[in-house]
């Protein structure tokens, strides 16, 4: 009977949550859990489902699980496996990305090939004017190519920045797990 | 007693002038403003995405950057504009997305609005944080128009709950959020209006058209909106703010 009383939205969310759990759809799980943060009733229902799932799957008590997770984190993250490219971006780096991008026109990929080993370092302030100047140095006049080149370079710069941030966070997270007694002031 | 901060028109005008200078123009060019050229004077890339939402923006960013951004963007709310900026060494690189399904006039206004936020509101805060030694300086902002009226550009405001400046994230849960304030929205709108409809350009066009059309704002707006690629509402508002027509 209780089912009938649930708001339609919550019923739909619960249904989606169960489906997401079954299919391992992490994005949907994350989205629904986010909604549950703003809805106490939905949060309660999700907790019940989680407990049900845990007992169904014979999962270990939470404390034991977290000890195991901590052990695995220490095992894997001490290796510092995350490799982040911190070198300045060069014309050759961008050309390599463009050459392998099948979504770009063939003519752009061809120009990219001719620049593959070019070590010229790109300026951090990568305006279109700056790229045009580089283009003039390299005798590249195709405006569309230069615009695409600039976009690709900026995307790569941002990607590297994000990778750096992700690595920093992973390390920080590892430190937290590796030394649980460490205080926040030590960050 | 706290005072309510209001939009700073002089600051907006100065910012608009700096955009033209940064792009290598002494003054605004006559006719349609070359918005792409102006945006690309900064380390910002621009894209039009169909069905723009925070989630779609994140997916698109991940695809283009080759790296899933460390951003909590999972809402499916429709956006007209989106701005993301992050620190890369000494520079604040960014991107502006607009919804490809919006009409051209709105897409242009949205892009100019986001550029306004970047210059007026995000850069100063980000620079300050970077100077203080923070390492993960990022900012995002989403633009939703208040009404469903495609042409109503002047009432743009943020309705997206996720609109935020994400300050250096120690952990996702510890991020400090700064919400854009109404005065910041007003400034971003003023910035877009001044950038896309420069005073001199408006005055020149009006001088050309007021003989056949008179100074009736409605007629001038019809004419100028198509000549400047802006909405009729936007140009009407701009003409009023310039004290032209009636």
CA distance B141 to B152: 20
- The reported pLDDT for the residue numbered A38 is 77
A18-22: which pairs have CB atoms within 8 A and are 24 or more residues apart? A18/A49, A21/A49, A21/A53
Are residues B156 and B98 in contact, defined by beta-carbon separation less than 8 angstroms?
Answer: no
Contact B170 A166 (CB under 8 A): no
Burial (0-12, 13-18, 19+ Cβ within 10 Å), B196: buried
CA distance A175 to A169: 10
Query: To the nearest whole number, what is the mean pLDDT of chain A?
Result: 76
Contact A154 B170 (CB under 8 A): no
User: Using one digit for the tens of pLDDT, what is the confidence trace for A31-45?
Assistant: 788 788 778 888 888
Quote the Cα angle for B198-B204-B206, to 5°: 100
Based on its alpha-carbon atoms, the radius of gyration of chain B, rounded to whole angstroms, reads: 18
CA distance B155 to B149: 10
Supply φ then ψ for residue B2, to 5 degrees. Answer: -95, 140
Tell whether B18 lies on the interface with A, counting CB pairs under 8 A.
no
Which residue of chain B has the CA closest to A26? B74
* Cβ atoms within 10 Å of B149's Cβ, excluding its own: 12
Element (H, E) at A53: helix A40-57
Question: Higher-confidence residue: A176 or B70?
Answer: B70
Q: Which of A138, A162, A144 is nearest to A90 (CA)?
A: A138
Tell whether A150 lies on the interface with B, counting CB pairs under 8 A.
yes
Tell whether A34 lies on the interface with B, counting CB pairs under 8 A.
yes
Are residues B185 and B153 in contact, defined by beta-carbon separation less than 8 angstroms?
Answer: no
Closest by Cβ to A31, choosing from B69, B74, B91: B74
CA distance B139 to B178: 10
- The reported pLDDT for the residue numbered A112 is 94
Closest by Cβ to B67, choosing from A34, A150, A159: A159
Q: Which of B192, B229, B205 is nearest to B103 (CA)?
A: B229
- The reported pLDDT for the residue numbered A106 is 94
- The reported pLDDT for the residue numbered A96 is 95
Return residues 44-83 of B near A (CB < 8 Å). Answer: 44-45, 61, 64-70, 74
Q: Which of A139, A137, A135 is nearest to A147 (CA)?
A: A135
Return residues 83-122 of A near B (CB < 8 Å). Answer: 97
Tell whether A29 lies on the interface with B, counting CB pairs under 8 A.
no
CA distance A5 to B164: 36
User: Using one digit for the tens of pLDDT, what is the confidence trace for A33-91?
Assistant: 878 877 888 888 887 777 776 666 655 455 455 555 555 545 544 444 555 677 899 99
- The reported pLDDT for the residue numbered B3 is 59
User: Using one digit for the tens of pLDDT, what is the confidence trace for B151-184?
Assistant: 344 333 333 333 344 433 322 223 334 456 788 8
Closest by Cβ to B86, choosing from A97, A151, A158: A158
Contact B65 A129 (CB under 8 A): no
Q: What is the SS3 assignment for A107-166?
A: HHHHHHHHCCCCCCECCCCCCHHHHHHHHHHCCCCCHHHHHHHHHHHHHHHHHHHHHHHH
Q: Cα distance from A11 to chain B (closest Cα, Å)?
A: 19
Tell whether A129 lies on the interface with B, counting CB pairs under 8 A.
yes
- pLDDT beneath 50: ranges in chain B: 1, 148-178
CA distance B204 to B208: 6
- The reported pLDDT for the residue numbered B35 is 96
Contacts of B20 (CB under 8 A, 6+ apart): B26, B27, B28, B38
- The reported pLDDT for the residue numbered A178 is 54
Closest by Cβ to B88, choosing from A127, A161, A169: A161
- The reported pLDDT for the residue numbered A72 is 52
Tell whether A158 lies on the interface with B, counting CB pairs under 8 A.
yes
User: Once rounded to an integer, what is the mean pLDDT over residues A23-37?
Assistant: 77
CA distance A38 to B38: 41
Burial (0-12, 13-18, 19+ Cβ within 10 Å), B124: exposed
User: Using one digit for the tens of pLDDT, what is the confidence trace for A105-124?
Assistant: 999 999 999 999 999 999 99
Which residue of chain A has the CA closest to B87? A161
Tell whether B180 lies on the interface with A, counting CB pairs under 8 A.
no
Tell whether A133 lies on the interface with B, counting CB pairs under 8 A.
no
Burial (0-12, 13-18, 19+ Cβ within 10 Å), B154: buried
CA distance B225 to B35: 16
Question: What 3-state DSSP class applies to B114?
Answer: helix
* Range list of H helices, chain B: 9-22, 35-39, 54-65, 104-117, 123-131, 182-196, 199-213, 217-228, 232-241
Q: Which of B153, B156, B157 is nearest to B233 (CA)?
A: B153
Contacts of B153 (CB under 8 A, 6+ apart): B105, B106, B109, B145, B192, B230, B231, B233, B234
Question: How many contacts does A have with B, using Cβ atoms within 8 A?
Answer: 85
Q: Which of B140, B142, B71 is nearest to B110 (CA)?
A: B142
- The reported pLDDT for the residue numbered B172 is 28
Contact A126 B43 (CB under 8 A): yes
Contact B45 A151 (CB under 8 A): yes
- The model carries a pTM of 0.73
């Amino acid at each position: 009977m209780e089912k009938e009383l649930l708001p339609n939205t919550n019923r739909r969310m619960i249904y989606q949550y169960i489906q997401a759990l079954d299919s391992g759809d992490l994005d949907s799980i994350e989205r629904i859990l986010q909604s549950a943060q703003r809805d106490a009733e939905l949060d309660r229902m999700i907790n019940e489902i989680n407990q049900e799932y845990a007992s169904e799957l014979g999962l270990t008590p939470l404390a034991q699980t977290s000890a195991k997770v901590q052990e695995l984190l220490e095992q894997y993250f001490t290796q510092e496996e995350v490799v982040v490219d911190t070198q300045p971006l060069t014309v050759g780096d961008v050309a390599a990305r463009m050459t392998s991008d099948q979504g770009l026109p063939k003519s752009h990929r061809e120009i990219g090939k001719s620049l593959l080993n070019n070590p010229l370092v790109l300026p951090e302030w990568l305006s279109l004017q700056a790229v045009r100047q580089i283009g003039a140095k390299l005798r590249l006049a195709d405006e569309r190519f230069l615009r695409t080149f600039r976009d690709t370079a900026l995307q790569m710069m941002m990607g590297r920045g994000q990778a750096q941030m992700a690595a920093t966070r992973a390390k920080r997270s590892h430190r937290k797990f590796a030394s649980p007694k460490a205080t926040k002031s030590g960050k | 007693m706290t005072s309510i901060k209001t939009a700073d028109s002089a600051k907006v005008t100065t910012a608009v002038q700096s955009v033209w200078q940064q792009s290598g123009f002494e003054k605004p060019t006559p006719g349609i403003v070359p918005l792409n050229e102006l945006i690309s004077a900064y380390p910002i890339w621009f894209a039009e995405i169909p069905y723009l939402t925070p989630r779609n923006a994140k997916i698109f960013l991940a695809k283009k950057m080759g790296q899933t951004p460390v951003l909590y963007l999972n809402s499916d709310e429709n956006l007209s504009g989106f701005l993301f900026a992050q620190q890369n060494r000494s520079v604040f690189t960014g991107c502006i997305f607009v919804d490809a399904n919006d009409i051209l006039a709105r897409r242009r206004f949205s892009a100019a609005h986001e550029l306004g936020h970047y210059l007026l509101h995000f850069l100063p805060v980000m620079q300050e944080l970077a100077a203080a030694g923070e390492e993960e300086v990022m900012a995002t902002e989403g633009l939703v128009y208040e009404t469903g009226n495609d042409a109503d550009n002047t009432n743009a405001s943020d309705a997206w709950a996720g609109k935020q400046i994400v300050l250096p994230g120690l952990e996702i849960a510890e991020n400090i959020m700064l919400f854009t304030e109404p005065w910041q929205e007003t400034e971003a709108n003023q910035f877009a209006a001044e950038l896309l409809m420069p005073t001199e350009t408006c005055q020149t066009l009006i001088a050309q058209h007021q003989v056949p059309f008179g100074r009736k704002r409605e007629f001038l707006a019809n004419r100028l909106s198509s000549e400047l690629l802006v909405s009729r509402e936007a140009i009407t508002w701009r003409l009023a703010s310039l004290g032209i027509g009636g």
